[in-house]
Every structure is written in structure tokens, then in C-alpha cells.
Chain A
Amino acid sequence: MFGKGAKRKLGEDEEGLEGKTLEGSLAGGGFGFCPEGLSKVSYTLQRQTIFNISLMKLYSHRPLGEPSLERRVLINNMLRRIQDELKQEGSLRPLLLPPSPQPDDPMDEGFREAPSSFGVLSVQVSQPSALLMPTIVPPPSPHPMVPPNSQASQACPNHGGVCLAPLEACLTPASLLEEDGTDSAFCTPTPPTPPMSPPTPQPPPLPSALLSQTAPRVPAPASSNDCLPSTLSDMELAPPTAITRTAAANANTETTSLAPTPLTQPSPLETLSPAHTGLPRDCRTVGVKPEADSVLLADARCAELPPAGLADISSSSSSPSGFLSDLALDDVLFADIDTSMYDFDPCTTGGAVGVAAGGITKLSPVVTADDLLKSLASPYSGPAPQVSANQPFKIDLTELDHIMEVLVGS
């Protein structure tokens, strides 16, 4: 389960079955208690699961009646604690991880944005795949998504919310913002369908709070602490899908910024998201600076791309294949790194938890980032190991294709 030839630590032997470990750790671990080896993996997984559940609970639509204050306070405390833990871990990670192969300097700049997007994915992922991501923690900035070099230029009030960058290209395909199903492919998986009411226009503090959560490694204590608990004083309900969307936005910002053509098509993408004024704004702030820094990266990348990938990129950015080929780049980037540790099947852990719960509720299996990358890249890089858990994401991608076509009118 942990790769061929990898030694299991003594602690893992004592834990017993994987499923049992998960359940046991659920009871025994948490908030400062950091077991080694296998338990650490399941600890991170369960922490992320609880994080997701907590978020969903806070933002699920309640009809008419006022939700219980005690319940909200307890869930809020839970989220805060997990967030603090993640922040602590985020500041520790660069020290703990072995040095990963460093790309050239221009690529480094591009990677500076990577932690913010892949940080999302790596948090949910087991420890081995976290090792994969180069973990460069940008110095603290007031707005969690704004890279440090642009800190001076962006004087956003933390509590006031998202900075309104000049109206430049929203680099995230709007279809991703609008489609709930596809977003789940790129961010933390959610448990079986929460009632998702259409998002109402929300005050900015909420999206920025969510952004700060999705990038736990970016230290932004002030803004996150202020914005997240605003749910208590804010009687209105936040968009339920906000967290998944911003996560998707973060994930996709990096990839789409690699392609030069999307940059030249701001208007169609903007008009595609009329209802979600809050979120594209967030995207813009995320997207602005990465665009500036990673144009270089895109140029560098394009040279490396196989001709098929390049052809896809040069075609219209609105085509989904162009988007997918961006993700193929990542597969290329990480191809030289040993991925044998990634054979760990998320379905077992997820299933074990669900089974143990009996008649209560099943938690959906957690999918790791590398699985996503593999599955997404597979149409373009030839035969690749298919992970069964990614079937739903494939369906989501075809939906994405379809919706993109509809929206663009092709």
C-alpha cells in the first residue's frame, strides 16, 4: 500500500488495519497529537474530512429558522483549530521535506504561485504526495492570495474583503466557476451532495476568508481569523459552493496562466459569469499577479511541450482541450519524480470509514492530487494508469467540455 519496498514503521504495525487506524485515530488523534507514519497520513486525511464537513455545515442552506448559535460556534471553533494546525504545519513543512529537484529560476517565480494553488491539493493529500510539491512559503502578505512582491501595491483592507484589481483577464475559465461538479475535481472532495442553493451575492469578506483557508500555507492570520468567523455576525448565508470554487479558481489559475492565449481573451470569460460577482473578483486578484510572473514561465514551458500539447494551447483558450493540455504540463513537470509512493488507494480509506460508520453516513473517498493529475493527463499522454476513483471526475470533465461549448457558443 505504501509502495514497493517501502519499510513500514513500527507504529504502523501496532495500528493494525487501515480502516481501524482511521477510526482509532479519529478518536485518539487531533489538535496537536501527531502520530508517525501511517497514522499521520490518516490523521491528515481525517482532519481534512472534518474540515470539509465543518465548512459544509456552516454554509448549508437553512430554511426560515435561525440556526442554533451553539452549533455554529462549535463548528466555527473546530474550523479555527484545524486552520491553526494547518498554518503551523505549513510553516514547518519546508524544514521537514527533502529537497526536491529545483527547476530554473523563471520557473521558480511561477512556482511561487504554485503553493497557493497546489497547497489546496497537497493538504488533502497523504504525506508522500505532499513531498512532491516544492513547498516554498511566500512571506506573509495581508491578502492571502496576493504574492509578496505585489504586497505594496495592493492595500486591501483585510476585513473589507477582496481587493479589486484592475479589470484584467480573469484567468480562470468561467465555466469552472459556474459548474459545481467539475470544481470538486480540483479541490477537496465533499461528502454526498449537500443542498446547494444558488449562491446569493455576498459581501466580500466571506470569499476572502475562504481563500485564506484554501491556502493554509500562506500565513495570513489576521485576515483569516477576521473573515471566517464573520459567519457568526453575518446573518446571511454564504454561497455554499464558494469554497469549492475558490479552490478550483486557485488550482486553475496556475494552469491557465501558463497558456498565453487565455490572456488575450478577457471579455468573453468575464461575461460568462454574470451571477457570481464575488468570485470572479477573487479570481482576478489571484490571477493578476501570477499572470505577470508566469508569462515567462509559459514561454519557458511552451518550448518543452510536445507538439500536440502546443497545438492545443494555441487553439482557442475556450476549448476545454486547451485547458486540459495545461494540466498535461504538470504531468510533464513532475514526470521525473518517482511516483511509486502514490499507489496508495484512497478508496480503501474512504470506504473503510464509511463501512465503519454503518448505517450512519458514508464519506466519499478522498482523492489525491496526483491521481487527479494522472487521470486528467491521460487522454493526451497516452496510456496511463487509470485510477478507478477518478471515473466521476472524467464525467465531470466531459460535462465541462459540454458546458464550455454551450457557453462559448461553438
Chain B
Amino acid sequence: MGEDTDAPPTLNHRGFLPDHNYVTEADIISTVEFNHTGELLATGDKGGRVVIFQREPESKCEPFSQGEYNVYSTFQSHEPEFDYLKSLEIEEKINKIRWLPQQNAAHFLLSTNDKTIKLWKVSERDKRPEGYNLKDEEGRIKDLSTITSLQVPVLMPMDLMVEVSPRRVFANAHTYHVNSISVNSDYQTYMSADDLRINLWHLDITDRSFNIVDIKPANMEDLTEVITAAEFHPHHCNLFVYSSSKGTLRLCDMREAALCDKHSKLFEEPEDPSARSFFSEIISSVSDVKFSHSGRYLLTRDYLTAKVWDLNMESKPLETYQVHDYLRSKLCSLYENDCIFDKFECAWNGSDSVIMTGAYNNFFRMFDRNTKRDVTLEASRESSKPRAVLKPRRVCAAGGKRRKDDISVDSLDFTKKILHTAWHPTENIIAIAATNNLYIFQDKLNSELH
């Protein structure tokens, strides 16, 4: 897809020390999520904070400032905790944020760390009542003898204030680390998945949850597979899918049984014997699974590829896209430095025609499913100035023919990884989290999706 390369992207970034290479670990962005209208963009970081950006309404006077995202609210969602029983620290890092569909003036989002899920209410206040009878302007109680007449308080405009308050805390339901949350299409329930179990919650009830998937073996020493991601179907409130570390996807129907250990459909691609290696299992572990907006397809990401599955075909994926196949010969080194365990996310565009995922060296890739074209772009301050057009990048094999501006495989920076990406639900706007920086790119020429 070539549209993004023609568009002037908007570069918004936040970082406490923007001119230095020093990165505070607490500032590392750990999740990015647009809300259902795309007006709000939430990011969570390793320090347990959530920052919400809001898109400025388009103004006619300055065409280029339309639709920029600015900070709307910042709050501390989770604090570090200590599990005294196991003598282990519970990280405050926000693993996932999911917005609830908006039902009134307030916005609601779920944020989770390894153990606890919280429901936050984000509301605006732009008016305040003035003219109280018993209190004066500063809030002090008036002397009753001075009150001579009765007045009705009037709502006066004030500076916009965004209030964030925790509405529910869903705690103590997970023994293992929560890796996914997903809001159901019924807007009343949601699920949270950890390494071995998936729980179903009601948004209003915090002291109880239903366990719907449990893959913990009777003997922990027999454990060979864990749950890596889970998501509800966008339209069918009884269907959900979860992925495993062995590269399988399981579609479950909650109507079949209370405990959905038995899957309705199992999506698994048979292993290619010619590509077998020591690391076959590790690179097949699915790091992210996303339903398409239509609900017909599934997008999965494993270490080297992104695959599109048709819900009606369990035997193999519909399409397989090589994200960074040049790493295939480097798997041993990547295993040694732990990069092979990096969990990349993936995203659909609004019309399900383009998929996007991140890679190393601050590269991210987009694949157009229709034209079969793909592009590699870089999210970095050095390579793109604000409002500049992004230049496509290319990774060439070591020692191969090298064009100008190409990067050799050996000079890739594996500490700069783009794990979290998000795509606006309707427009061609993408949010890329590169370590502690957030990049937002827009495609101005083709704002409407085709």
C-alpha cells in the first residue's frame, strides 16, 4: 500500500528526555489502543501510567492541524505490588488496555497488569455550579447571619477538566500473568486470559468470575503449552478464540459447555518438514491474535510471520506474510539474547484490506492483502521529520547487493523493537510505539478508506 508514503505524517512523541538517548524504563510504552470511534488513543507504559490522547476536531482555518492527537489525560492506573506469599514483585506494567463502547458522555476503559484488571471512567467537566447559598466562592461555609436572600446556583463554564476515576477493580482471579483482555460484543461481559486460564467477568461484578478455559495440567511438570492471547468475536458474543505457544488457535463456543476446554475449531498449520529447526516450536508461538472487523478472518502473529486465517478453514492459513524472514538464519543468536521471545502485536485496518505489524530496528511492516504489496517503514526521529513523507526502507541480506539507504541484516538494532501498533478503526491513522516514543502517522490524501 503506497498511500502512507505520500502522506504527511504527524509526529507526536513523548519522552521525558527527548533530546537524549537515555530511556527511562518506566516510560517504555507497553500497549496502544484506539477507542471505538478513533477519537481517543490510550497508551500504557511500564510504570503503570495510562496516557490518553484526543484527536483535535478539524478546523477549517488551519488545514494541517486537523486531526492531531494531543494529550487528553494522564493517570496512574496500577502501582507495583508485592506478593508476600511467593516473595515476588507484581509489576505495574500495563499489559493491555481495552476501551468499552461509549454509551454516555463518559468513556470507560479496562486496563490490566499481570494480576489485576481495573475499569476506569474518563469524564469531562466543563461547567461548574456557582452561587451556592451556604458556601461562598472558595467553599467556606457562609455565616448564616449574612444570608439575606435565596439564590439558585447557576452552571457556569469552566476550563475543561478531565476526571479519571477507578470504577471497578477485578482482582485475585489470576494465578499466572494476564496477557489479554477482551470486551464482549454484548457490552456486559469481558474476558481476561492468563498463561493457563481464561476467566469471564461481568463488568459490574468484581468479586466473582467464571473460569471458561483451563489448560493447567494436573501435574505441572507435564506443562508444555500456554495460552498466549485471547479475543472475543466482534459480533457473536458466544465465540472467542485463544492462541497457544505451540502455534495453534482454538475457537470456542460458550454455548457448548460451561468450561470451554474442548474447542469448536482448531486452527493449526502443519509443520513444513524442510523448514524444521531447533527453534521451530518457539517461532511458531503465536504472540497476538486479532479478529478482523468483519469477524470472518483471524490475524495471527508469530515470530517471523503474520498469517490471515479464514474462520471456515482450519487446516491452514489463508495467507502468510513474511515479516522478517532474514532472521531465520539468526535464530540461535536471537535465542541466546532472548529476542526470540519478543511478542509482536498485529493490527487490521478498518476495511480489513491491510494488515500491519512491527519488527526490529524501529521498522514496521504493512501488507496489502489485495494488491499483495508490502512496505517497510521506520518510526524514528532521525529518519523522519514532522510532516515529512515516510520513506520506505529495505533490509538486504548480509553481503548481498546493497542499494543506497538499505540496511544490512547485521546492522539491525535488536533493542529497538516495535511490539505495539494500533490502527484507527475507520481512517488511515496508525499509532506506533517505539520503546518510549509514540508515533502517529496519518494518511491525508486518502482519509476515507476504500
Contact = CB atoms under 8 A, between A and B. Distances in A.
Instruction: Decide whether A and B assemble into one complex.
Output: yes
B281 interface: yes
Given A71-B341, A78-B278, A361 B336 contact: yes
Interface in B80-132: 86, 88-89, 91, 114
Interface in A182-201: 191
Contacts of A76: 223-224
A53 B335 contact: yes
Given A64-B88, A232-B220, A358-B410, A69 B226 contact: yes
Contacts of B226: 69-70, 73
A50 B276 contact: no
Contacts of B223: 73, 76, 229, 232
Contact of A233 (B220, B279, B335, B337): B220
Contacts of A409: none
A402 B352 CA distance: 69
A46 B332 contact: yes
Contact of B332 (A33, A70, A353): A353
A31 B195 contact: no
B330 interface: yes
Contacts of A357: 330, 332-333
Task: Determine the interface band of chain A, counting residues with CB < 8 A from chain B.
Answer: 35 or more
Interface in A352-369: 353, 356-361, 363
A407 to B, nearest CB: 34
B224 to A, nearest CB: 6
Counting chain B CB atoms within 10 Å of each CB, which of A24, A64, A66 scores highest?
A66
B376 interface: no
A235 B86 contact: yes
Contacts of B337: 360-361
A191 B176 contact: no
Contacts of A77: 224, 281
B225 interface: yes
B391 interface: no
A74 B341 contact: yes
B370 interface: no
A357 B335 CA distance: 11
Interface string A30-62: 111100000000000011011001000100000
Contact of A70 (B228, B398, B411): B228
A359 B410 contact: yes
A68 interface: yes
B389 interface: no
A132 to B, nearest CB: 26
B328 A27 contact: yes
A229 to B, nearest CB: 4
Interface string B206-225: 00000000000000111111
A64 B87 CA distance: 8
Contacts of A229: 220-223
Given A30-B279, A358-B410, 17 more contacts: A24-B329, A26-B278, A27-B329, A28-B276, A33-B276, A46-B278, A47-B278, A49-B332, A65-B88, A69-B177, A69-B226, A74-B285, A77-B281, A230-B221, A235-B88, A353-B332, A361-B333
A27 B277 contact: yes
Interface string A82-117: 100000000000000000000000000000000000
A320 interface: no
Contact of A69 (B91, B176, B222, B338): B176
A23 interface: yes
Contact of A232 (B221, B280, B330): B221
Contacts of A71: 338, 341
B334 A360 contact: yes
Contact of B329 (A23, A49, A73, A361): A23
Given A24-B329, A358-B410, A78 B88 contact: no
Given A46-B332, A73-B245, A232-B223, A28 B341 contact: no
A399 to B, nearest CB: 27
B203 interface: no
Contacts, number: 125
Given A26-B329, A27-B328, A233 B221 contact: yes
A66 B88 contact: yes
A49 B336 CA distance: 10
Interface of A: 23-24, 26-33, 46-47, 49-50, 53, 57, 64-66, 68-71, 73-74, 76-78, 81-82, 191, 225-226, 229-230, 232-233, 235, 353, 356-361, 363
Given A232-B223, A360-B330, A50 B282 contact: no
Contacts of A230: 221
A358 B409 CA distance: 9
A360 B329 contact: no
11 contacts: A26-B331, A27-B277, A28-B275, A31-B278, A31-B280, A50-B335, A64-B89, A70-B341, A73-B223, A229-B220, A360-B337
Interface in B414-429: 414
A50 B278 contact: yes
A30 B277 contact: yes
A161 B169 CA distance: 44
Interface in B272-318: 274-282, 285
A235 B89 CA distance: 13
Contacts of A233: 220-221
Counting chain B CB atoms within 10 Å of each CB, which of A27, A53, A71, A359 scores highest?
A27
A229 B223 CA distance: 8
A363 B336 contact: yes
A76 B225 CA distance: 11
A70 B88 contact: no
Contacts of B398: 358
A50 B338 CA distance: 13
Nearest to B245: A70
Given A69-B177, A73-B225, A359 B332 contact: no
Nearest to B327: A27
A209 to B, nearest CB: 10
Nearest to A226: B221
A6 B200 CA distance: 66
A136 B279 CA distance: 32
